[in-house]
Amino acid sequence: MKPDCLTFRLFFLLGACLLLDGQARAQETTTGRMPDDVFYLMPSFGDGMVYIKGQRPAQGKMNICAVDNTLRYLDKDGTELSAGRNEDIIMVTIDGIAFLHDNGSFYRRYPVTADMGIALKRNVTVLTDVKEGAYGTKSHTSSITEISNLYADGINYELNKAKEYPYTVSEILFLYQGNEVTILNKRNLRKFFPEKKAEIDAWFKAGNKLPDSLDATLALLAGWASQE
């Protein structure tokens, strides 16, 4: 199906909110600002294709915001726009990397077979309720990073004028099949690998647990897939 730049532009402009200039923002290096490779799912805006329900796929310069899970787009003047109808998005590809859109979130796709694999979701959470204790310690003990600015929902939150807010970054592994994302667990593994049910049951019964890392999980699934 032929990409449609006009469809893409109309899709965004009809429901978009205007952000600050994307090119200028990408070049900012102000100390304390959330890094672009944390704020976005890709390190920079790239050549993208968006697949929208009931419309032809469309292309443009794109990225995905990890804070609010919105698709971002640079118009011809380099102004950054945020999609106002994310619920209509099925999938986005940016510089050859595919992101599925399901249940309001974007998941980076890591194929194991032609139709299934690991879907990785990154969560970036700003901790606005962190309280300082004795000697300047904070109540959250997880690995956090201090930031002084947050750009989300078309608004520049100048957090450094009040106080610095920490944020956490976590990544969660899911399974996908086709365009559907589901929980990574024993039940779904048995569903995805019907010929390996007995082996999967034996693997868990032996006391094994699903790996925490992406590479180890991909290797595990690839092993089962190769024996199908």
- Residue whose token pair is 């592994």: 173
Is-contact 165 130, C-beta < 8 A?
Answer: yes
- Residue whose token pair is 């600050």: 20
Q: How far apart are alpha carbons 115 and 203 in whole angstroms?
A: 24
Identify which of 64, 107, 81 has the alpha carbon closest to the alpha carbon of residue 8.
81
- Provide the b/e sequence for 184-204 (b: ≥16 CB within 10 Å): beeeebbebbeebeeebeebe
Residue 191 pLDDT greater than 80, yes or no: yes
* Total Cβ atoms within 10 A of residue 53: 9
Percentage with pLDDT > 70 across the chain:
67
State how beta strands 97-102 and 145-147 pair: unpaired
pLDDT at 38: 82
pTM: 0.74
Local confidence band at 129 (pLDDT 50, 70, 90 cut-offs): low
Higher pLDDT, 83 or 140: 83
Identify which of 77, 102, 6, 3 has the alpha carbon closest to the alpha carbon of residue 47.
3
Residues 6+ apart with CB under 8 A from 149: 30, 32, 33, 34, 156, 157, 158, 159, 160
Q: How far apart are alpha carbons 4 and 23 in whole angstroms?
A: 23
Q: How far apart are alpha carbons 71 and 90 in whole angstroms?
A: 12
Higher pLDDT, 61 or 18: 61
Written as six digits, the tokens of 160 are 């450094």
Local confidence band at 2 (pLDDT 50, 70, 90 cut-offs): low
